[in-house]
Structure 1
Amino acid sequence: MFLVDSHCHLDGLDYQTLHKDVDDVLAKARARDVKFCLAVATTLPGYRAMRKLIGEREDVAFSCGVHPLNQDESYEPEELLRLAAEPGVVAMGETGLDYYYTPETKARQQLSFRQHIQVGRELKKPVIVHTRDARADTLAILREEKVTDCGGVLHCFTEDRETAGKLLDLGFYISFSGIVTFRNAESLRDAARYVPLDRLLVETDSPYLAPVPHRGKENQPALVRDVAEYMAVLKGISVEELAEITTQNFANLFPVEPARLNLP
């Protein structure tokens, strides 16, 4: 079995007490059939530091971008383009809109979001989108900036079935995290049942949002296995089949060589 953690923050894990190093994290993941990770940046300095921490590995790819909650740190679009064009970068982001925590930065968030999609279209790399309390603006900007030219994924999906449908209409993939296992997440489970198998991804968003029964502890790529097992039950298929489908979906969305994902 071959599972992909389609969204994790390997630079955010506890390397003081829980893990010896990145090798240790990836070994724990492999022991649970999680054999590839997409390491996601949230700032441009963070992207550079993350690449230095992780190094070049066959089982890790990178995204490059600025999280909507990090708009207090200015950046130049030219630098975003230059870094995102580096080998090993397979996606833009995470980008998007978050009006829950910092509504006062709406204008900057929207500009940054548009810039990420524009760079994604130029480089033919998909966008990884975060949205919170900003559904209408997120969908509008995706349409206005012609995101269908580069594709993308709504990561850590927490919206409803209707929003899922609108994203699917844009050709988007939808990624589910450990939140889908939470007791009060029934509307999210309804959306998960609705999303077709060929548009589905699984992720941890580690170190955040550990799935049940690990809730409250630090999340790590190994625990994407728990998300996959839960999603397989929701979809009425085996976890082996879910792993095969979501790995193929990852390969369809991101420019990663199939051999790195154990695909022909």
Structure 2
Amino acid sequence: MLFDTHAHLNADQFDEDVEEVIERAQNVGVSHIVVIGFDRKTIDKAMQLANTYPFIYAAVGWHPVDAIDMTDEDLQMIEELAAHPKVVALGEMGLDYYWDKSPKDIQQDVFRKQIALAKRVKLPIIIHNRDATEDIVTILKEENAAEVGGIMHCYSGSVEIAQQCVEMNFYISLGGPVTFKNAKKPKEVARDIPIEKLLIETDCPYLTPHPHRGKRNEPAYVKLVAEQIAELKGLSLKEVANITSQNAKKVFNIN
């Protein structure tokens, strides 16, 4: 039983064969998938998938790269969708200082607004962080995001920051990079953070795990992430699959 907590099956890369991709995931034991919507188009597609497949859920939010495009109507739409029974989290949201489409102050404002919304609708949040760790941690603390908690998606930072996030009621989610030979930090995090605080994800179609690097990622490959964590922790694949699935059900409040 594997739970892919972060997939973009709503990406254009899956337009031609999404049904086959979902079937392959089920064939390797993926029992749940959360599809992330982060702008109007991807939110619509995430909701369509969640409404079609009983084991697919949706998260809705606004991506920091596109923060400059977010309107009050978009925030209202996210708030309305938060009441949908298949919407299990808000996000992905956060800060991205790698791309410079949206100024930092606008990104921070949109991030804070979404945290406030999550607290109103009582849903966990999924955090996107690129080159912005210090500001992310500061905002999570200032906005008391611990009240709803959530997920540090595709975590690539240090063990020390991961521990701070765990103290703030966040789970640490690992994806394909933990399987890369030279990925020192994700491997350290996989070893040092308790399995009860870890989640697994693909972030497909991106960040494809070894040995499929360079190809399109898909939810079936979440098994490779689980296998790597099992190896690093000295656990069985079954233990990692079961515990991370229970963790995901807990954070997303899925019975």
TM-score, reference length from structure 2 = 0.94
Structure 1 vs Structure 2: percent identity of aligned residues?
Answer: 38
**Which of 99, 106, 109 in structure 2 is aligned with 1:108?**
106
User: 1:105-184 counterparts in 2 under 5 A?
Assistant: 105-184=103-182
* 8 Å contact kept, 2:3–2:33: yes
Give the CA deviation at 1:55. Answer: 3.1
CA–CA separation in structure 2 for the residues paired with 1:101 and 1:133: 10
Task: Give the Cα separation in 1 of the matches to 2:102 and 2:39.
Answer: 19
Q: Which amino acid aligns with 1:31?
A: N
Partner Cα distance (1:66, 1:249) in 2: 24
For 1:188-232, what per-residue CA distance to the aligned partner results, in whole angstroms no more than 9, with x for missing partners?
211221111111000000000100000000000000011111111
Instruction: Find the aligned partners of 1:89 and 1:186 in 2 and give their Cα distance.
Output: 34
The aligned counterpart of 1:81 is: 79
CA RMSD of aligned residues (A): 1.5
Secondary structure of 2:235's counterpart equals coil
User: Shift in Å at residue 186 of structure 1?
Assistant: 1.3
**1:33 counterpart residue number:** 29
CA offset digits 1:48-82 (Å, max 9, x no partner):
23323553321100000011111232221323212
Work out the CA distance in 2 between the residues paired with 1:53 and 1:164: 31
The answer to whether the 8 Å contact 1:13/1:220 transfers is no
Deviation at 1:37, TM superposition (A): 0.1
Change (3 A) 1:73 1:116: same
Kept in 2, the 8 Å contact 1:211–1:223? The answer is: yes
Verify: 1:65 aligned to 2:61, yes or no.
Answer: yes
- Give the distance between the partners of 1:145 and 1:217, measured in 2 at CA: 39
Runs of 4+ in 1 over 4 A off after TM superposition: none
Aligned mates of 2:53, 2:157 — CA distance in 1: 34
Asked whether the equivalents of residues 95 and 129 of structure 2 are also in contact (C-alpha less than 8 Å), the reply is yes
Q: Which sections of structure 1, spanning at least 5 residues, go unmatched? A: 259-264
Say whether the 8 Å CA contact 2:175–2:225 is kept in structure 1.
Answer: yes
Q: Deviations over 1:101-159 (max 9, x none)?
A: 12751111111111111111111110000111111110011111111111111000000
Equivalent position to 2:51, from 55, 60, 66 = 55
Q: Residue 251 of structure 1: CA displacement?
A: 1.0
Distance 2:29 2:68 in 1: 38
What's the CA shift string for 1:29-48, capped at 9, x where partnerless?
01111121000011134202
TM-score calculated relative to the size of structure 1: 0.91
Residue of structure 1 in register with 2:6 after alignment: 7
Q: Deviations over 1:13-41 (max 9, x none)?
A: 53466x2xx33221100111112100001
Which ranges in structure 2 are unaligned for 5 or more consecutive residues? none
Using the TM superposition, give the Cα deviation of residue 165 of structure 1 relative to its aligned residue in structure 2, in angstroms. 1.2
Q: Answer whether contact 1:65 1:92 (CA < 8 A) is retained.
A: yes
Distance (Å, rounded) in 1 between the aligned partners of 2:71 and 2:181: 40
Amino acid at match of 1:230: Q
Equivalent residue number for residue 221 of structure 1: 219
Q: Secondary structure at the match of 1:40?
A: strand
Residue 55 of structure 2 aligns with an amino acid whose one-letter code is: D
